[in-house]
Structure formats: structure tokens, C-alpha cells
Structure 1
Amino acid sequence: MVTDDKLILLLKCCIAVGLGLISLGIYFHNYSDTVEAMGVKGIIISAMCVAFGMALSLPTKMYLTFILVKRETERKEQD
């Protein structure tokens, strides 16, 4: 169970980093004058932040849900 706990912590960290990158991309796109002044390169930077954030957070959520459901099923079988 120790490895599962570490894996769950790692997945939660990936979700947090992913959500942070999504928020950063939205901030860049909507509020940053520097990124706006960069033109197309600024748009690419903000889009990449959102894309990497989604790549980190969405599959991680599904895998984390799978692990937690599996853990709950094993607990019910033991009872």
C-alpha cells in the first residue's frame, strides 16, 4: 500500500501542476500585455501552457479515479 500512496500523491501533484499550467495559459491569453505584444509567438506560448496542462491533468484524473475505485473495491471484498 505504500507504493499506492506514493503513486496517488504523484498523480495529485500532476493534477495540480496541470491545473496551474491551464490557469497560466488563460492568464497569458487574457491579461498579459507581454504575450500580447509577442503576437503569434505569444499565442503559441499560451496555447502550449493550456495544452500541456490538459495533457497532465485529464488522463491523470482518470487513472487516479481508477486506482481509488480499485482500492475501494478491494476494501469491500476484505470486509
Structure 2
Amino acid sequence: MSESALIKLLKIVIISGLCLLLLGHYFISYANLPQRLGVAGMIISAGCIAIGLILSLPTKMYLTFLLVKRENEKRAKHK
């Protein structure tokens, strides 16, 4: 997989993670899912938030590492 394709994939994973975070927040705050479904609603809301965090945070760190590495390689070529 090329580096540009990997970066695009990581950006898609980050966006989907953030969407899951927002969905979990919506379930808790506005849809009142825990009040309507009880424990099952809490599990669904917390699951969305947890999966969103799992998808978004590590990929941000890896994407930053890749972009810094690419920038350092460009600087080394120009010197």
C-alpha cells in the first residue's frame, strides 16, 4: 500500500471515529437513549463512544508520525 493511500485510509478512520463519538454523545444527551432503554441504552451509547475513541486517537498519532516523517524526507532531499 502506498503512503498516500495509507494516509487517506487513516483520515477515513479518524473521521469515522469522530462520527461515532458524536453519535454516542447524541444518544446520551439528546435522544435520551439510556432513559428509554435503561442499561442497554447506556451500553450502546458507551460502546459508540469507546469505539470512536479507539478509532480516532491512535490513528491521529500514527498519521502525525507519517506526516512528520514525510516532511523530514522532503527536507533531506532539498539539502
TM-score normalised over the length of structure 1: 0.94
**Structure 2 equivalent of residue 72 of structure 1:** 71
Q: Deviations over 1:9-48 (max 9, x none)?
A: 0000000000000000000001114442100110110000
Aligned AA (1:61): K
**Corresponding pairs, count:** 78
The alignment partner of 1:32 has SS state of: coil
> Where has structure 1 moved over 6 Å in runs of 4 or more?
none
Alignment of 1:1-79 (within 5 A): 3-79=2-78
Aligned AA (1:72): E
Return 5+ residue gaps in structure 2 as ranges: none
Q: Tell me the distance in 1 between the aligned counterparts of 2:7 and 2:23.
A: 24
Superposed CA RMSD in Å reads: 1.2
Return 5+ residue gaps in structure 1 as ranges: none
Identity %: 53
